[in-house]
Amino acid sequence: MTPNLKHLALAALLGATALAATAQEAQLRLATAFPENTAWSQEIIKWSERVNAQGKGLVKINFVGGPRAVPTFEIGNAVKSGVVDIALSPGAFYTNVFPEADTLKMAQIPIAEQRKNGAVDYINKVWNEKGNMQYLARMVEGYPFHIFLTKKPEKLDFTGQKIRVSPAIRPALQALNGNPINVPPGEIYTALERNVIDGYGWSVGGVFDLNLAAMTKYRLDPGFYDADVSIVMNLDKWKSLNPQQRDFIQKMAMEVEANSGYWRKEGEDEKRRQNSSGIQSITFGPAETSKYLDKVYEAGWTDLIKLSPVHGPKLRALLSAPK
């Protein structure tokens, strides 16, 4: 073989090797259910950048965007069908895929304990079978929901008031006799501005991200449930990865979960910031507060068990605080 032919053969071999390495790198499309300027979306973008840096040649995540790319309440169908491979979302945003998605908000034990007692295994059994999803990790923990209002409530009863909710807190508001209105996150400000709603349900954080502070006067304390913002993946895509790729993605997801308690502190900081901005905390007596919290949890589980009589009771047993 002449030198030129040798060089060409070597170049071809190196090129083929490079193409093979590129072909082995899993390409994953990531979307978030929240506007891209929110803290959660910013965190998942940073996470994807860490994945790409540490997993070069193994896994590459391509961020496709937030609700402008995939509407909030279509995020579940997008993951199930494989339109996107990975998503950051609470289960409440994909109850249109399967109702059990709404159970995670009612967890009263830490995610670390859920991994020990079999809850996460059972979650993945349901998520696999009904959503074509693999549940990877929980990003947010200790981050309750609150009712934010434009007018001061005199009692724990919202009769006649129109309150924006997500599916996550609909049963809680109904238990308090409010009129639930379904408004996407990015449209809450306009709904308040036009007096379409009298308030909104949201997690303790996000009021400033969504520019709602100026329109908000009161926050009902204490909060209830727990924002279950989690990372889920299309099951077919998950299965298509080789063991090394799966292990890497799960390891990176667990790094996010290990930091989930950060949001508890961030939530307390957020409340202080809200208080400084003029949003007043509204509380009621201990007996009334206890009754209200019992009522909203019971309402949530009752609704879920009606829709899921097989899985609902099992999930409640696994996720509830020991008695």
pLDDT(4) > 80: no
Whole-structure pTM value: 0.82
Peptide bond before residue 222 is cis, with ω within 30 degrees of 0: yes
The length of the chain, given as a count of residues: 323
Helix H or strand E segment including 1: none
Task: For 170-221, write each residue's pLDDT tens digit.
Answer: 888 999 999 999 888 889 999 999 999 999 999 898 899 899 999 999 999 9
pLDDT(66) > 70: yes
Task: For 111-145, write each residue's pLDDT tens digit.
Answer: 999 999 999 999 999 999 999 999 999 999 999 99
Beta strands in the chain (DSSP E): 26-32, 59-65, 86-89, 133-138, 145-149, 162-165, 179-182, 199-203, 218-220, 230-234, 280-282
pLDDT at 23: 53
Mean of the per-residue pLDDT values of the chain: 91
Residue type, 305: I
pLDDT at 6: 43
What confidence category does residue 1 fall into, taking pLDDT thresholds of 50, 70 and 90? low
pLDDT(169) > 80: yes
Least confident of 20-29, 41-50, 227-236: 20-29
pLDDT at 322: 82
Closest CA to 44 of 89, 81, 91: 89
